[in-house]
């Protein structure tokens, strides 16, 4: 009897396990399949035409969309517009994402049909001709994290019930005709990190979002007014531009006026009178300040004239960057350097007493090929006097973490770029050796220094001015820019050239007495680094330091100007002097992420926030969302595989896998070149 009961219990356990296994597989029910097919038919206009569209895309309620037990992973029998959960996931056998972008759909959105799929995470309906509004029932899609309805013909107001979508992380409603106010309830969505609502007709004020928690935010080109969120984080004017008059709030707009307080007519008149007297006081104070400034300027001009007549007098070199264009003035002394030109017949009395040469401009002699510098710029640098450089009109180009950059037009009309470095961590002698070594290495993708200047508190480096701008401006320029987005071939070309230039410089500057990297383009180095010399890294590789020549070829600027700090946590094989080279490899990885995503890094950051965002998206298996939409819309799936390969290179540069040595710049250049060669072969085959 006991054996019989044991056998029955075993049969029962097996039956329960089989039932559990079938339930765990989670196959979509017939109701879900019918609802989703009807949802697509409604998007396509309904009726027979809508059903025909559903059949044409392979959506059939009689077919299981996610046969998880077949081992096909996230492939769907309903076509590539449907993505299923992987077999190992607890939602295996259910639909994870619906991607119906650019399908010429002209119907409406029925949320009740969509939300019938309980495990659905992402819905993409962008670039269609959908009409009607955004239904409030979307909030019933409890698992929805990504919702794209941008670039359709939707109208009406956004439902405040979306604020109840606790898992919603990305909402893009841009490029429609939505109106009304932005619901304040959106501030209550805990995981919302991307809200894009530009190019609509929204009115009213902007809810006080906590923007430092956002990765993307844009409400430009609407009819919004009033204060912007108190803490705008890294978002600039382009996220709020082209709205109605009256937008306010620092630091992007004027300070908002205080709210009006009730009072009688007498109090209002008294306040108005006090304001009139207050403004008159401001005017008088302004006149006094202006007169004082004029007096000081005149006094300074007289002192400068007297200073020129006094021989042997030392005047500190200054950049007056308070206005644009800027003027730089100085008096310098004679240098005994073999590379410098005489600036004056006098030496500093203090320097003469010490028997030491005073600082002056050092012009670097250049010969041969491989330089991106024009003949005019080289000739101007050869004949350049320090007084001419510092007295020439200077236009401030920008300020950065380590100094400022200026455009200087010297006598003769040549345009030069002057990098002013503050608080340099290297001595004058070390800086001199560094610049001379960098100047001897020549590569077409590296902008060479023409001259430099060393002083106790600051250092200057002179380059040829590149009028075509930087990679940062091309990728993240203002919304008023007419520059077309960079396509995939252009971005891959930039990545290849920068990788080749950095690999060559690392090989020439690594300080082991050898130079082993040879690029596919003309490059040379007169004298390689000798054994025992410290390796020279770029130090500040970023998109604003990638400039373009007149032929739009990329070139690396400011190589070696900043002594990079030791990078904590970076494995360098026991050589601390290689930490700077490893930091360059990581910075190049961040540069690849900017090229692929189209997203800018924080102004004073190292790209960690962008790397974290990319990692989180990849972990959610939404790899396609990483890429810049300008790439996907122009090149589509044709280049997506190579984009993914370049993304893998970028992530390996930033964070090598456990147990895997970080790649060198030479290895990275080889990987990028392999992707470029594959892309070239693909283009040749298409032709």
Is the pLDDT higher at 227 or at 686? 227
Read off the DSSP letter of residue 183.
Answer: P
Q: Is the pLDDT of residue 186 over 70?
A: yes
Reduced to 3 states, what is the DSSP secondary structure of residue 486? Answer: coil
Residue 288: C-alpha distances to residues 291, 292, 375 (Å): 5, 6, 51
Residue 23: C-alpha distances to residues 69, 458, 501 (Å): 12, 71, 57
Is the pLDDT higher at 607 or at 321? 607
Rounded distance, CA 460 to CA 76, Å?
61
Which residues are within 8 A (CB) of 525 and not within 5 positions of it... i.e. 6 or more apart? Answer: 440, 441, 442, 508, 515
Count how many residues are written for the chain.
687
Reduced to 3 states, what is the DSSP secondary structure of residue 340? Answer: strand
Predicted local confidence at residue 305, as pLDDT: 57
Q: Which residues pair with 458 in a beta bridge?
A: 422
What fold characterizes domain 25-248?
A: 3.80.10
Q: Is the pLDDT of residue 367 over 90?
A: no
Nearest to 400 by CA among 373, 433, 432, 423: 423
Confidence of residue 500 (pLDDT cuts 50, 70, 90): very high
501-543 per-position pLDDT tens digit:
999 999 988 754 344 444 444 455 444 455 456 788 998 899 9
CATH node for 314-465: 3.30.200.20
Architecture of domain 468-687: Orthogonal Bundle (1.10)
Rounded distance, CA 577 to CA 584, Å?
13
Q: Give yes or no for a contact between 330 and 318, defined as CB atoms under 8 angstroms apart.
A: yes
Which residues are within 8 A (CB) of 326 and not within 5 positions of it... i.e. 6 or more apart? Answer: 319, 320, 393, 394, 395, 396, 406
Rounded distance, CA 137 to CA 141, Å?
8
Q: Is the bond preceding residue 325 a cis peptide, omega within 30 degrees?
A: yes
Tell me the domain boundaries of the chain: 25-248, 272-309, 314-465, 468-687
The torsion angle over the Cα atoms of residues 202, 207, 212 and 215, rounded to 10 degrees, is -30
276-296 per-position pLDDT tens digit:
878 888 888 888 888 888 888
Give the CA radius of gyration of the chain.
32
Predicted local confidence at residue 479, as pLDDT: 45
Q: Give yes or no for a contact between 495 and 670, defined as CB atoms under 8 angstroms apart.
A: no
Average pLDDT over residues 62-76: 70
List, as one string, the DSSP characters of 40-86.
Answer: HHHHTTSHHHHHHHHHHTT--TTS-S--GGGT-TT--TT-TTEEE--
8-65 per-position pLDDT tens digit:
444 444 444 444 443 444 678 889 999 999 999 999 998 888 999 998 889 998 899 8
């Amino acid at each position: 009897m006991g054996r019989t009961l044991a056998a029955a219990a075993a049969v029962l356990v097996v039956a329960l396990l089989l039932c559990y296994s079938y339930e765990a597989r989670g196959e979509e029910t017939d109701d879900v399949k019918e609802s989703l097919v009807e949802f697509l038919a409604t998007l396509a206009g309904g009726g027979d035409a809508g059903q025909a569209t559903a059949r044409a895309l392979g959506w059939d309620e009689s077919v299981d969309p996610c046969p998880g037990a077949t081992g096909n992973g996230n492939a769907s029998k309903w076509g590539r517009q449907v993505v299923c959960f992987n077999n190992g996931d607890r939602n295996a056998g259910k639909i994870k994402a619906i991607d119906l972008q650019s399908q010429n759909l002209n119907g409406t959105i029925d949320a009740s049909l969509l939300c019938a799929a309980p495990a659905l995470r992402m819905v993409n309906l962008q670039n269609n001709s959908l009409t009607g509004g955004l239904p409030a029932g979307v909030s019933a899609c409890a698992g929805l994290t990504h919702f794209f309805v941008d670039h359709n013909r939707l109208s009406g107001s956004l439902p405040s019930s979306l604020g109840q979508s606790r898992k919603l992380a990305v909402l893009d409603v841009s490029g429609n005709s939505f109106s009304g106010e932005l619901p304040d309830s959106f501030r209550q969505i805990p995981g919302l990190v991307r809200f894009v609502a530009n190019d609509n007709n929204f009115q009213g004020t902007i809810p006080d979002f906590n923007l430092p928690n956002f990765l993307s935010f844009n409400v430009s080109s609407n009819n919004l007014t009033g204060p912007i969120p108190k803490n705008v984080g890294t978002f600039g004017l382009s996220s709020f531009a082209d709205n109605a008059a009256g937008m306010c709030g620092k630091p992007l707009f004027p300070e908002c006026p205080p709210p009006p307080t009730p009072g009688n007519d007498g109090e209002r008149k008294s306040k108005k009178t006090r304001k009139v007297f207050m403004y008159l006081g401001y005017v008088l104070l302004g006149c006094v300040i202006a007169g004082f400034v004029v007096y000081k300027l005149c006094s300074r001009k007289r002192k400068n004239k007297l200073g020129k007549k006094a021989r042997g007098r030392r005047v500190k070199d200054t950049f007056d960057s308070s206005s644009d264009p800027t003027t730089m003035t100085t008096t310098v002394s004679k240098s005994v350097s073999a590379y410098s030109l005489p600036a004056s017949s006098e030496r500093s009395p203090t320097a003469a007493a010490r028997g030491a040469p005073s600082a002056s401009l050092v012009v670097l002699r250049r010969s041969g090929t491989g330089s991106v510098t024009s003949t005019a710029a080289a000739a101007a640098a050869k004949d350049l006097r320090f007084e001419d450089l510092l007295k020439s009109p200077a236009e401030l180009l920008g300020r950065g973490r380590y100094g400022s950059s200026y455009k200087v037009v010297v006598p003769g009309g040549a345009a030069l770029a002057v990098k002013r470095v503050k608080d340099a961590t290297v001595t004058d002698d070390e800086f001199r050796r560094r610049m001379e070594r960098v100047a001897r290495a020549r590569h077409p993708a590296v902008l060479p220094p023409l001259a430099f200047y060393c002083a106790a508190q600051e250092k200057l480096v002179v380059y040829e001015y590149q009028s075509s701008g930087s990679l940062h401006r091309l990728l993240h320029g203002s919304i008023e820019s007419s520059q077309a987005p960079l396509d995939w071939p252009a971005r891959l070309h930039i990545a290849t050239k920068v990788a080749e230039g950095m690999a060559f410089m690392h090989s020439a500057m690594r300080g082991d007495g050898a130079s082993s990297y040879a690029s596919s383009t003309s490059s040379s180095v007169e004298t390689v680094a000798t054994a025992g010399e410290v390796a020279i890294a770029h130090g500040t590789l970023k998109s604003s330091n990638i400039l373009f020549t007149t032929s739009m070829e990329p070139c690396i600027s400011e190589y070696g100007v900043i002594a990079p700090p030791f990078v904590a946590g970076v494995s360098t094989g026991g050589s601390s002097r290689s930490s700077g080279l490893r930091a360059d490899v990581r910075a190049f990885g961040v540069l690849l992420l900017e090229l692929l995503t189209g997203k800018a890094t924080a102004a004073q950051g190292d790209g960690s926030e962008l790397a974290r965002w990319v990692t989180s998206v990849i972990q959610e298996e939404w790899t396609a969302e990483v890429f810049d939409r300008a790439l996907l819309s122009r090149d589509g799936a044709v280049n997506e595989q190579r984009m993914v390969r370049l993304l893998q290179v970028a992530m390996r540069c930033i964070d090598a896998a456990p147990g895997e040595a970080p790649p060198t710049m030479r290895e990275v250049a080889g990987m990028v070149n392999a992707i470029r060669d594959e892309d070239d072969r693909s283009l040749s085959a298409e032709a």
